[in-house]
Amino acid sequence: MQTLARIKELLDLAGHGPKKALGQNFLLDHNLITKLVDSSGIQSGSRVLEIGPGTGALTELMLERGAKVTAIELDSGLARVLRHTLGERFPETFTLVEGDCLASKKRLNTEAMSIIGDETFALVANLPYHAATPAMMTLITAHPNCSGMYVTIQKEVVDRLLAPPSSKTYGAIAVAAQCLGTGERIANLPPECFYPRPSVASAMYGWTRDPSIPHDPEAWINRADLTQTLFQSRRKMLGGVVKKIAKSEVQFPDGITPDDRIDALEPERIWALCASIIRAS
């Protein structure tokens, strides 16, 4: 496990200190790093996607457990260090892709995803905070071979993922995550767990895809996009909102009326409504 002194040494080798613009806050607590890996259930032979490996503390533990890790690192200095420190130790199981984790707002890095191919994989990462929401939404909806996500992210994002109906934080990502799987808060993390200390609260989140749901990424993406549109009018009655969106009359599913508001509906009902709107469009 990496000590603070070792992290600083590796940053020196990269030629810079922590980059605030890239959200570089390095997790120091060895017990929490182990807890995240334990929660993921990865074992020897497991395929893992890691976004933002940084100095490689989490990566190293997963590789030592025999996982096959494909890591995406935007920082060229740290990428160079990782090729030396981990690439040489684990040439068969560690693959590094240098670049942005997102090819576009709704598409993950194409090189990394081509390496993983059709294999089932899990995301295990201390996610750069600016990339967390779009990367997770993309994995939930567009990549059915992503069986789960076990991540350190902003506590605010975890609150949104776990938000119940009628709460202020309830929105499109909660609907998608809760319709397609089960999420849990693994731990809340105080700022002193990181170097440097972040200005926002952090938490660990675990999500497991429901394997009983048939894979249909195109429908999932369309419903997630439409959910986001509906939540832009979260306090308005659905009758007027839906009428502006749909090209023809919408048959409201059982349990939903035109007088309802989107933020009061359970996730499954929202996606049923989205399906009805799509059929009418």
Pairwise CA distance, residues 97 & 62, whole Å:
17
Residue 105: the pLDDT is 78
- Torsion of the alpha carbons at 85, 47, 111 and 203, rounded to the nearest 10: -80
Helix axes 132-142, 217-231, angle to 10 degrees: 140
Residue 104: the pLDDT is 85
At the top level of CATH, which class does the domain 217-279 belong to? mainly alpha
DSSP-assigned states of every residue in 205-227: EEEEE-TTSPP-HHHHHHHHHHH
What number does CATH give the domain 4-209? Answer: 3.40.50.150
How would you label 244-269 residue by residue, b for 16+ Cβ within 10 Å and e otherwise?
ebbeeebebbeebeeebbbbebebeb
Residue 160: the pLDDT is 98
Report, as an integer, the average pLDDT of 74-93: 97
Residue 1: the pLDDT is 77
Residue-range domain boundaries for the chain: 4-209, 217-279
What pTM did the predictor assign? 0.95
| Residues near 126 by beta carbon (within 8 Å), at least 6 away in sequence | 26, 27, 36, 52, 54, 58, 151, 152
What φ, ψ does residue 50 adopt, rounded to 5°? -120, 130
pLDDT tier, 23 (very low <50, low <70, confident <90, very high otherwise): confident
